[in-house]
């Protein structure tokens, strides 16, 4: 089929009539599919259930250093948990602080602390007239919610094939001391699945921000979430690059075992320079007596080391990969050559990012919803929920069963075509 943009009004009308019939049939199926969030499927969660066979009434929940994991204490986590998370984050275990069940909470806390107490002695951000954050777009909506909640002005920075537009990042960070940080998902980025190139990572490490309290928020959420064992993206370790560049205080790294074992019932960690870490300890000592060490104990006994993590993640990949491939296959079959949308086929992570024709995303999401397929709201991957081109849609293929995902992808493709035809007819 030829590109829609090259069709005459008559051809478009004819196409539209066919699509409307198809759309009507879909609606009659009464589907109820939810593709909104990056949630593991029940089958993925089943993969880790044997972890709990390690804890039973007779188990000795004692850490390597003799700590009773059932009692209070151990503010920064047991050593073996730090070591495991250091493997996720390619850093020194000494740089790791182990936290509770959600890395999002660490990020929230880190921003909240900067608001009330500043960063390593800097002026608390709540006393400044303006605080700004750089936000590579499309990005992770929950990152943007945190900065929005604290009244931090968000500046979108376009994503390229190898990471954020670094010319823009360098310029904005260097020229404005109100710019205090940047949100990054450097590996299998949410939602595009892009992994930052070595060059991009090195340029991050070499940043010369005007603000002494500028920090890179390096959310390595998908550090081990490869779809292909023989074709893994390789992310240059940011902390090592920062060490080399003399900028180790400039980066905070985050990760968690969510989507490795149980979402929201694992543990998370932050990595930071020793100076940053010690400053964070001071707050943590006020905030908590310590995080759940039983979970740290069982996770480290179960996953053991990075080889164990890789083996476990390969099981996830076997379940998830067919869903990603189904989306790619169906979109290719339905949309190739029509010129009404594009997407990146990711090698890992949790999302596929679809870029529709300008002005079509909201319409596609609404049509899909009407046909029983709920997608993440159009605009969600942008600060303040505003996609200036109304074109980006995030697809989360992991949660539905394969057959459901195939069905949803076909519905989605129909909606994309219908929205595209309608858009073009407006202009003809």
Q: Which chain residues interact with its own copies by CB under 8 A? A: 37, 39-40, 42, 45, 49-50, 52-53, 55-59, 68-73, 100-102, 104-105, 108, 112, 115-117, 124, 126-127, 142, 145-146, 149-150, 258, 262-265, 283, 285-295
Q: Rounded to the nearest whole angstrom, what is the least distance from the CB of residue 191 to its own copies in the complex?
A: 16
The residues facing 375 across adjacent strands are: 35
**Closest CB to its own copies among 69 and 169?**
69
Scored b (16 or more CB within 10 A) or e, 54-82 reads eeeeeeebebeeebebeeeebebbbbbbb
**Closest CB to its own copies among 203 and 291?**
291
Q: Rounded to the nearest whole angstrom, what is the least distance from the CB of residue 245 to its own copies in the complex?
A: 32
Alpha-carbon span 328 to 352, nearest angstrom:
9
User: What is the Cα Rg of the chain in Å?
Assistant: 23
**Closest CB to its own copies among 132 and 143?**
143
Going along 352-416, which residue ranges are E strands?
352-356, 373-375, 392-395
**Closest CB to its own copies among 185 and 413?**
185
Tokens 């539209």: give the residue: 16
Cβ neighbors of 336 (< 8 A, separation 6 or more) are: none
Q: Rounded to the nearest whole angstrom, what is the least distance from the CB of residue 256 to its own copies in the complex?
A: 11
Main-chain phi, psi angles of 264, to 5 degrees: 80, 0
Q: Rounded to the nearest whole angstrom, what is the least distance from the CB of residue 98 to its own copies in the complex?
A: 12
Q: Rounded to the nearest whole angstrom, what is the least distance from the CB of residue 41 to its own copies in the complex?
A: 9
Q: Rounded to the nearest whole angstrom, what is the least distance from the CB of residue 126 to its own copies in the complex?
A: 5
**Closest CB to its own copies among 24 and 116?**
116
Q: Rounded to the nearest whole angstrom, what is the least distance from the CB of residue 143 to its own copies in the complex?
A: 10
Alpha-carbon span 160 to 120, nearest angstrom:
32
- Rounded to the nearest 5 percent, the helix, strand and coil shares of the chain are 45, 15, 40
Kind plus residue range of the DSSP H or E element containing 360: none
**Closest CB to its own copies among 72 and 228?**
72
* Contact by Cβ (8 Å): 424, 12: yes
Q: Rounded to the nearest whole angstrom, what is the least distance from the CB of residue 127 to its own copies in the complex?
A: 8
**Closest CB to its own copies among 174 and 402?**
402
End-to-end CA distance of the chain: 19
Alpha-carbon span 120 to 100, nearest angstrom:
23
**Closest CB to its own copies among 45 and 344?**
45
Cβ neighbors of 130 (< 8 A, separation 6 or more) are: 153, 178
Q: Rounded to the nearest whole angstrom, what is the least distance from the CB of residue 217 to its own copies in the complex?
A: 15
Cβ neighbors of 111 (< 8 A, separation 6 or more) are: 146, 147, 150, 152
Which two tokens mark 277? 């870490």
DSSP structure class, residue 100: S
**Closest CB to its own copies among 45 and 425?**
45
């Amino acid at each position: 089929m030829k590109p829609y943009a090259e069709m005459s009004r008559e051809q478009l009308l004819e196409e539209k009539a066919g699509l409307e019939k198809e759309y009507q049939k879909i609606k009659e199926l009464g589907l109820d599919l939810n593709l909104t969030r990056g949630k593991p499927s029940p089958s993925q969660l089943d993969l880790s259930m044997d972890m709990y066979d390690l804890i039973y009434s007779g188990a000795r929940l004692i850490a390597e250093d003799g700590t009773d994991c059932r009692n209070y204490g151990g503010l920064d986590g047991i050593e073996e948990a730090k070591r495991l998370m250091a493997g996720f984050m390619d850093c020194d275990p000494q740089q790791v602080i182990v936290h509770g069940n959600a890395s999002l909470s660490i990020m929230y806390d880190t921003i909240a602390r900067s608001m009330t107490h500043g960063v390593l002695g800097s002026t608390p951000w709540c006393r400044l007239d303006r605080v700004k954050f750089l936000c590579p777009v499309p990005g992770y909506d929950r990152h943007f919610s945190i900065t929005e909640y604290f009244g931090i002005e968000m500046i979108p920075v376009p994503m390229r094939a190898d990471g954020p537009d670094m010319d823009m990042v360098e310029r904005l960070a260097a020229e404005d001391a109100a710019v205090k940080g940047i949100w990054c998902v450097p590996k299998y980025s949410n939602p595009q699945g892009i992994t930052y190139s070595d060059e991009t990572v090195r340029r991050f490490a070499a940043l010369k921000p005007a603000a002494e309290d500028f920090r890179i928020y390096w959310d390595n959420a998908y550090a081990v979430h490869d779809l292909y064992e023989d074709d893994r993206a390789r992310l240059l370790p940011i902390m090592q690059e920062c060490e080399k560049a003399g900028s180790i205080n400039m980066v905070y790294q985050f990760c968690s075992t969510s989507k490795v074992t149980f979402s929201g019932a694992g543990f998370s960690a932050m990595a930071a320079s020793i100076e940053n870490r010690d400053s964070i300890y001071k707050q943590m000592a006020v905030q908590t007596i310590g995080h759940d060490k039983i979970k740290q104990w069982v996770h480290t006994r179960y996953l053991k080391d990075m080889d164990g993590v890789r083996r476990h993640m390969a099981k996830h990949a076997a379940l998830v990969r067919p869903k990603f491939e189904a989306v790619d296959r169906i979109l290719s079959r339905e949309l190739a050559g029509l010129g009404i949308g594009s997407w990146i086929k990711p090698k890992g992570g949790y999302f596929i990012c679809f870029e529709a024709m300008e002005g079509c995303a909201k319409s596609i999401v609404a049509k899909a919803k009407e046909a029983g397929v709920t997608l993440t709201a159009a605009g969600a991957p942008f600060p303040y929920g505003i996609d200036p081109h109304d074109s980006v849609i995030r697809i989360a293929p992991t949660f539905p069963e394969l057959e459901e995902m195939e069905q949803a992808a076909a519905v989605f493709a129909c909606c994309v075509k219908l929205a595209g035809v309608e858009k073009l007819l407006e202009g003809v």
